[in-house]
Amino acid sequence: MTSPDSSTANSSPLLSPAARGAPQNLRVSDETVSTMRLGWAPAPGNVLQYRVAFQPTAGGDRKEVSVKGENTALVLKNLRPGTEYDVSVRARYPSGLGDPLEGRGTTLDGFLWFLWLDPGISHESAIYRHVEVTAGPSHPEVFSVSLEVR
């Protein structure tokens, strides 16, 4: 009777140092008008860092950010309101980049609110100022601003 070959006896294959994989299970959450949180299950092996690329689905500049290999989440910032984004996450290994994990996320429609107190006024007679900034539906780079003084 022969003994089983040790390379086939193990049911889970081992990754060689040069092997590359992809992260899994991309999750988009906590969307706001200008941010969204991405999370993913780690890629196998010795991941040095993750490279996250994103750009508006309708076209626009592609941006890329990196996080350390032990991180599996990232908040994308300075996004446009009401915009769908294509996102991809790739593991960077000593031997190069792994396959991308791709998905989409959409920021919320809406506006940003700002409220501040005039520092030259005492609290008892405070003047509160309210500014509403709204993105235009056809041109997200054009904003209207209204000011209300009470």
Residue pLDDT, tens place only, 108-123:
887 655 444 455 555 4
For residue 78, pLDDT over 80 is answered with yes
C-alpha of 99 from chain center = 18
In a domain, 34, yes or no: yes
Other beta carbons less than 10 A from residue 93's beta carbon: 22
In a domain, 92, yes or no: yes
Please state, for a pLDDT cut of 90, what percent of the chain lies above it. Answer: 55
pLDDT of residue 131: 47
Can you list the positions of beta strands (E) in 77-127? 84-93, 96-97, 101-106, 111-117
Q: Tell me, yes or no, whether 75 and 58 share the same domain.
A: yes
Q: Give the residue, 110 or 43, on which the prediction is more confident.
A: 43
What separation in angstroms does the CA of 24 have from each of 44, 85, 144?
Answer: 10, 18, 41
Q: Tell me, yes or no, whether 26 and 100 share the same domain.
A: yes
Q: Tell me, yes or no, whether 71 and 129 share the same domain.
A: no
Q: Which two tokens stand for residue 83?
A: 């915009």
Q: Which domain holds residue 87?
A: 20-106
- Residue 83 has, within 13 A of its CA and on its CB side, a CA count of 27
For the segment 95-106, what is each residue's pLDDT rounded down to a tens digit? 999 999 999 999
pLDDT of residue 133: 52
In a domain, 36, yes or no: yes
Per-residue b/e over 96-109, b at no fewer than 16 CB within 10 Å?
eebebbebebebee
Q: Tell me, yes or no, whether 91 and 120 share the same domain.
A: no
What separation in angstroms does the CA of 126 have from each of 46, 107, 113, 116, 149?
Answer: 57, 35, 19, 10, 11
pLDDT of residue 110: 76
